[in-house]
Structures are given as C-alpha cells and as structure tokens.
Amino acid sequence: MRLAGARVLVTGASSGIGAATALELSARGAHLVLSGRDEEALAGVAARTGGRPLPADLADGTVDRAADLAVRAGPVDVLVACAGEGWSGPLARMSGGTAERLIAVNLTAHVQLTRLLLPGMLERGRGHLVYIASIAGVVGVREEAVYAATKAGLLAFAESLRYEVPGIGVTAVVPGVVDTPFFARRGRPYTRRRPAPVPPERVARAVAVAVERDHAEVYVPAWLRLPARVHGAAPGVFRVLARRFGRP
C-alpha cells in the first residue's frame, strides 16, 4: 500500500514508538488521525505532522467513540496499534486493577478497534493493520507475565486475521528494547548493558516499510528473530539459557 495519501490511525501517538511512527508516516505523505492519552503531547505531535488529534484513553471503554471520530473525516486505510502499557514485578504483588488495565490497553482495545474498522476496509478491498507487539510476547519475560501475555495475544490475533481478510495487509512488529519512556512508566528502568535500546525511529521506519511492502512480520532489531526461532524449536534449551543469562 502506498502511504502517500493514505489515511492512517495511530494509537499511542503522544510518545514513544507511536509519536515516532506518526512523524515517519507524515514524512511519507500519509494523512494522520492520532490517538493518545496525553493531550498536550498529542497536540505537539499533531502540530508537527498535520495530523488530527484524537485524545482518548483506550482503557476507559470509549473505543467505539474513538473509531467513530476517526472515520468521520473519511475512511481509515491503515491502523497502526502502538498504544501499550507495562508493569514490572512479581505477579503476586500486582493489583487486579493493574492487570485489567494492561489487558484493556494492550489487547482488548485493539481487537475492538480492528473489529470496528475492518468492515470498511473489506468493503473497499484495501487496507492494512499493524500491531506493535514485543519480543516478550514471543519468549516470555520474568516478572512481566501480564504484559507478555497481552503481546502474545496480539501476535496470535494478527496471525489469525491473516487467514480471513483477503486483500487486507496484516503486520506484526516485534521490537526488543526501545529507548522510550515505557520503562520508567512500568515502574522499573532498563539497566542492562545488552541488548542496547534501539531508537523508536528505527521501529517507525520498520512500520512504514512493512506497510509499503506488505510484510507479515518484522523484528526490530532483526537479530531478535534468532532467539524467537530457538524458543520455538527448542523451548527447553531456551529456558535454560534464559535462566542463566536473563537477569541483569
């Protein structure tokens, strides 16, 4: 799909990967609708990209309204589901409300948003769906069980959709550690030397290329495909290695 002239809805556009993606897609000529919780930051991204700001908290049950507002100015050609939250710590110490919010923002909201936007794409015979997952959803991560589960669900959702939406592109982007405010917000900063965080602009470029070239799955950085394949082919071996080398 050509991004020039396409209408793109980006969730989580007020910071991090979402903001970087908005800037990248704008530079390629896309017309943007930008969703995010931080109204001030979202307005700044909208001003830089010419996008239409759509302040929304995807955990508050207003996904239907957000979808309706997004399509009022015209059909949405591309959905880029960037919005996501994290939480780090032992599961036994996590409050029920925290778990519910992570599931709502990371998974449920994007399932619902897709359900609302997909009929229009199918009717027009064109469109693209992009889901920002995580390597955590592929291999699991200690003390991030709920976050990893939401991202695994997003990956399974994308994979399943590919079988039932002919003519519609579906991409799962699988980043590793990205240099965004995510880690501070999850309650524990990233302190490992390796792997080094990649800039969000690198993920944003991967999103743009995936839409233009119709890639089904993209790892950022690309070497993450190796541990993902090891986990899939020899999960027992992977777990031994993860226990040995997976702590700071």
**Dmax of the chain from CA atoms?**
53
**How many angstroms from the chain centroid is the CA of residue 21?**
10
**Structure tokens belonging to residue 120:** 């229009």
d(CA 55, CA 53): 6
Task: Determine contact, residues 140/134, Cβ cutoff 8 Å.
Answer: no
d(CA 64, CA 165): 21
Q: Annotated catalytic, 147?
A: yes
Active-site residues, by number, are 147
